[in-house]
Amino acid sequence: MNTEASKKAFSEVQNFIPGGVNSPVRAFKSVGGTPLFIAEGEGGYLKDIDGNKYVDFVQSWGPLIFGHRDETIEQAVIDAVKHGLSFGAPTLAETELAKLVIEFFDSVEKVRFVSSGTEAVMSTIRLARGFTGRDDIVKFTGCYHGHSDALLVEAGSGAATFGSPSSPGVPADFTKHTLLAEYNNIESVKKCFVDSKDIACVIIEPIAGNMGLVPADKEFLHQLRELCDENGALLIFDEVMSGFRATLNGAESLVGVKPDLVTLGKVIGGGMPVGAFGGRREVMAKLSPEGPVYQAGTLSGNPVAMAAGYAALSKLKQNPRVIAVLEERAKTLVSGMQAAAKEQGITMQTDVRGSMFGFFFNDKEVKNFNNAASSDAELFAKFHAGMLDEGFYFACSLYETGFISTATTDEMVQETIEASKRVFKAIKDGK
């Protein structure tokens, strides 16, 4: 496969953009090689600037549930653009999309739109603190909630519960109120509540997608809800990634646990930059200008993004079986790859939630970040490179989730499985 144009483009861009990318994972650091520069997408495919074509299992990291250049969403964007790109004033499109989001999520009675998932989570944390009058928050190792200061933390030394900054540029004072717990381990959460009586909220990805696909146990989420209620803390479900991907009605509909607040993004923008947060009416009433908790954004509720999001969610509403169909397709994909790996003596753990799928080269079931981190990263890199050469574009990190779109056909899935057989054999043969 010829990728000379991408190599040249990557060499040039590093003179102008740090690391040559505008989001770190895109640099292919964990899998090696040169990132591909994309020229266009069409349906379930991507084409790079060298003219190579790939079956796309990234789908812009989740938003494109109907694939690239979906006609309905594309037309909605074109129509919106004809009226203007941005107004910085209310539009009817915001109301219509808000009503649609609220219709899907039982826990959401009011919603606020922003421009990214990071902004949604940052604002939700502030709202939770403003509502409870408390400062501390609990998050889980391996769950990613964007790059705001309070959430860029790592485990403290020894038995310390409180986190320390995981990035230069984040003052320790900004993370001293962030407590860390282990995913799917309720005892670690209980310890947080013992260590602090000032916890405003617990934030969790109920279906984690940033340590690979690792869903939270149903019983664990029920215990988390009880613990928050007992201690007067709010429970936040971060569904920026899983919202409208794992299920149309939120993780709450799968596990029977209603959060106080939910963060959303990706699918609700139909491919345009967007984020949102919402929840109980009494909590959202604390948000400015109705309440004292301040949040604002020039491009919040952007009319083009609202139009794309409304088109995407409307299509899902009209075709509620979409998620079930995509889930079966995703299960076929990962079970086929797992069988191909087994033929070569390679152990592969897999999971599927709706149109999301994940896999680990690991001998043990993955339930938390420590389990995920014990997976074979070198084998993943070899598999990623081999599949790329075969024309199949997977996420360039073992800690990322894969996505199926409606444009990903059964034929594409079977082609992927057959390619994985060749790649696993080549890896086993040392090629």
Residues with catalytic annotation? 144, 238, 266
- Quote the Cα angle for 322-272-299, to 5°: 135
Q: Are strands 207-208 and 214-215 parallel, antiparallel or unpaired?
A: antiparallel
For the record, the structure tokens of 124 come out as 């939700």
CB atoms within 10 A of CB 55: 23
- Element containing residue 202 per DSSP (H, E): strand 199-204
Distance CA 148, CA 177 (A): 13
DSSP 8-state class, residue 351? E
Q: Are strands 38-42 and 207-208 parallel, antiparallel or unpaired?
A: unpaired
Q: Identify whether the C-beta of residue 335 lies closer than 8 Å to the C-beta of residue 350.
A: yes
**Residue indicated by tokens 């997977």:** 394
**Distant-in-sequence contacts of 1-4, Cβ < 8 A, 24+ apart:** 1/50, 1/52, 1/388, 1/389, 2/50, 2/52, 3/34, 3/36, 3/48, 3/50, 3/52, 4/50
Strands (E), 49-194: 53-56, 110-114, 136-140, 153-154, 164-165, 178-181
DSSP 8-state class, residue 133? T
Bridge partners (DSSP) of residue 287 are 293
Distance CA 252, CA 275 (A): 19
List CB contacts of 136: < 8 A, sequence separation 6 or more: 177, 178, 179, 196, 198, 199, 200
Distance CA 361, CA 410 (A): 24
